Amino acid sequence: MRILAIESSCDETAAAVVENGQKLLSSVVATSAEMHAKTGGIIPEQAARQQLVSIVPVIDETLKKARLTKNDIDALAVTAGPGLIGSLLVGVEAAKTLVYLWNKPLIPVNHLVGHIYANWINSNNKQFQTLKFPALALVVSGGHTDLVLLKGHGNIKWLGGTRDDAAGEAFDKTARLLDLPYPGGPSISKEAEKYLVKHPKAKLKLFPRPMLDSQDYDWSFSGLKTAVLKYVQENKRFDVSNVAAELQEAIVDVLVEKASRAVAQINPKSFLLAGGVAANKRLRDKFEVDFFLKKFSTTFHVPPINLCTDNAAYIASAAFYNFKKVKWTDVDARPELTITGQI
């Protein structure tokens, strides 16, 4: 089954074709990051306007790269939410137009669930063969931090998440405090790497580890922003790379420690890391080391870096594994959708 998927939940405009939920035939992502860098962040109206310009060329290029026509497509999928309402509408209305013209089924997809399914793509490798249910998944992105248990496709239970800011949001907002360029997450990571190369044995304990000892699966990152703000105000000659490394370490520590604690308590067969923040090298490395040292029987999985950030490939994969028949006319943008929300 070949699915053409469309993703436009934030500032990217993406389309992809995936076969049987695993084989990636083509993927195209149009970014407006350069435009948002000038304003220091995303302005929703500007993002949606750019997506209106990009959506048709992106879909055309995706089919061209896959060497397919509309007749080779079995179904379409689209991100229904969560996200920016204007951006979501661009993708949803484009998808609804195509299914009407092409007479194909339309599968609405939860963007957060989609992130998890990046772990299924291009799965002709040994890692995929060991991916089994029940699976514990940590989705870490700019707007969300959620820990969920998957007992099977379509069977998802929320275990915990952020009580305030998401991990990615903490990266982005702190980057602004440090006057680092947009997008903030990669900028923090780049600066942190500079410091770690020079100081590989540095003990990074400057900032607190919020909720590290709480006996739940929740996180809190708003206090970290306050801690960084206070530090830079009191230390005018601070080292940007050092502060970036300290912040990154604090966030990574609480994510890894609390997720690992959940693995030890629940003992799932697989653990899946997903979301834009999963592209962070320090986070990926620390999870791999932690799983090795603790000798978990649970297998650790993380998508390739290019599939962690927003793209339509994982939307197509999620659509395949969670296919439900719906009337295309009933598909709407759902900006406030939660990770367990029904579409």
Task: Please tell me the distance from the alpha carbon of residue 253 to that of residue 231, in angstroms, as a whole number.
Answer: 20
213 is in an annotated binding site: no
The residue range of the domain holding 59 is: 2-118+307-330
The residue with tokens 């703000």 is 229
Q: Is the domain of 248 the same as that of 297? A: yes
Provide the domain count of the chain.
Answer: 2
Residue 201 lies in a domain: yes
Cβ atoms 205, 242 nearer than 8 A: no
Burial 6-32 (b: 16+ CB within 10 A, else e): bbbbbbbbbbbbbbebbebbbbbbbbb
Residue 189 lies in a domain: yes
Residue 31 lies in a domain: yes
Tell which residue, 92, 66, 68, has the closest CA to residue 78: 92
Q: Is the domain of 150 the same as that of 31? A: no
Query: For the chain, give me the number of helices (H) and strands (E)?
Result: 11, 10
> Which residues make beta-bridge pairs with 147?
138, 160
Q: Is the domain of 111 the same as that of 142? A: no
90 is in an annotated binding site: no
140 is in an annotated binding site: yes
125: DSSP letter: S
Cβ atoms 51, 304 nearer than 8 A: no
239 is in an annotated binding site: no
Q: Is the domain of 312 the same as that of 297? A: no
Q: Is the domain of 85 the same as that of 39? A: yes
Q: Is the domain of 104 the same as that of 164? A: no
Q: Which amino acid is at 41?
A: G
pTM of the model: 0.95
Q: Is the domain of 158 the same as that of 286? A: yes
122 is in an annotated binding site: no
Q: Is the domain of 225 the same as that of 316? A: no
**CATH code assigned at 105:** 3.30.420.40
143 is in an annotated binding site: yes
Beta strand pairing call for 75-81 and 106-110? parallel
Residue 335 lies in a domain: no
Residue 124 lies in a domain: no
Q: Is the domain of 298 the same as that of 321? A: no
Q: Is the domain of 194 the same as that of 239? A: yes
Question: Could you list the pLDDT tens digit for every one of the 343 residues in the chain?
Answer: 999 999 999 999 999 999 999 999 999 999 887 777 777 778 889 999 999 999 999 999 999 999 999 999 999 999 999 999 999 999 999 999 999 999 999 999 999 999 999 999 985 555 566 789 999 999 999 899 999 999 999 999 999 999 999 999 999 999 999 999 989 999 999 999 999 999 999 999 999 999 999 999 999 999 999 999 999 999 999 999 999 999 999 999 999 999 999 999 999 999 999 999 999 999 999 999 999 999 999 999 999 999 999 999 999 999 999 998 899 999 999 999 999 998 8
Instruction: Count Cβ atoms below 10 Å from residue 132 Cβ, excluding itself.
Output: 11
Residue 340 lies in a domain: no
Residue 341 lies in a domain: no
Q: Is the domain of 163 the same as that of 284? A: yes
185 is in an annotated binding site: yes
Q: Is the domain of 88 the same as that of 149? A: no
